[in-house]
Amino acid sequence: MAEVVVFHHAQGQTAGFLAFTEELRAAGHTVHAPDLYDGKTFAVLEDGVAHAEQVIGFDTIIERGEQAAADVPSEVVYAGFSLGVLPAQKLAQTRSGAVGALLFHASIPLAEFGGSWPPGVALQMHVMEDDEWGDVNVARELQRTVEGAELFLYPGSRHLFADCSLADYDAQAADLLMERVLAFLSAND
């Protein structure tokens, strides 16, 4: 089974985010879910984004993610929900021994973390095709650039569609995402 570090989105460790990590554990994977917000959660996405931008800062989010992953074995899959893609993608691109990356609801241009994707590190991305926050064009560029990268586009415009505790939740898309994630983890454990 795979070892996975999952970083939460801008609303924090919501009940739906925690349910997602529990589903991975129930499938037999070892899951680390660091809290980058020190227990804070936000009912509204914009409030969580404002907290990340103004109170903490995106660089601090990345640093906290790196610190949280420091004690995790190097053969690991990094996963991130939206804002959590920042530390997940940076670690996948820059930390030796990364096995793969799962990017949910967002992705970052390769240039942000060094400009290249490490050979042999698997990449799977999930976003709704009309999501204004989802960086669909960036995900498409990553798919073209990173050998073997998988991009799954879901119909609709919801952002955090895999978090069952939020209004953007889409059960059908979330179930399909989980099915694909479990297959990815099985292939990369």
Structural domain spans, the chain = 3-187
* Each residue's pLDDT tens digit, 33-89: 999 998 999 999 889 888 888 767 788 899 999 999 998 887 999 999 999 999 999
Residue written as token pair 């660089």: 59
pTM, full prediction: 0.96
Give the model's confidence band at 113: pLDDT under 50 very low, under 70 low, under 90 confident, else very high: very high
Please name the helix (run of DSSP H) or strand (run of DSSP E) that holds residue 15, with its range, or none.
helix 15-26
The CATH code of domain 3-187 reads: 3.40.50.1820
Q: What pLDDT, on a 0 to 100 scale, did the predictor assign at position 52?
A: 86
> Does the pLDDT at position 153 exceed 80?
yes
Q: What pLDDT, on a 0 to 100 scale, did the predictor assign at position 57?
A: 77
Q: What is the mean pLDDT of the chain?
A: 95
Give the model's confidence band at 173: pLDDT under 50 very low, under 70 low, under 90 confident, else very high: very high
E-strand stretches of the chain: 3-7, 30-32, 76-81, 98-104, 122-128, 150-154
Count of CB atoms situated within 10 Å of the CB of 50: 13
